[in-house]
Amino acid sequence: MTIGARRAFKWTLLVAIAVAVGLLLWFVAFPYLTTLLPENF
């Protein structure tokens, strides 16, 4: 594997993980968190 290909793979993996974590936060963690807030404004 060339250096360029390794770098591209590394960044693709990082972006994929970031998107997955972002979606998990948006659809699971944040909706749950808002139910724990004492008051919503």
Partner 1 sequence: MGTSRVKERLLAAEPEAGAAAGFAHPEVTSESTGSFTRGRHSREDVEDQPAGRPSVISQIFRPIGWISIVGGLVLLELAAFLFWGTGMKTAAAQTELRNEFAQIQQSAARGTFKRPVNGESIARLVIPRLGLDMIVVEGVGHEELTRGPGHMPETAFPGSNGSSVISGHRTTYASPFSNIDQLEPGDEIRVITAEGESVYSVTKSYVILPVDTSVTLPLAPGEKPRLRLTTCHPRFSAAQRLIVEADRIQEPRL
Tokens of 37: 């807030």
User: Toward partner 1, which CB reaches closer, 5 or 37?
Assistant: 37
Q: Which 1-41 positions form the footprint of partner 1 (CB under 8 A)?
A: 22, 25-26, 30-31, 33-35, 39-41
CB-based contacts of 34: which residues, under 8 Å, 6+ apart? 40
The distance of closest approach from Cβ of residue 20 to partner 1 in the complex, given in angstroms and rounded to an integer, is 13
Report whether 16 contacts 22 (CB < 8 A).
no
Which residues contribute to the site for partner 1 (CB under 8 A)?
A: 22, 25-26, 30-31, 33-35, 39-41
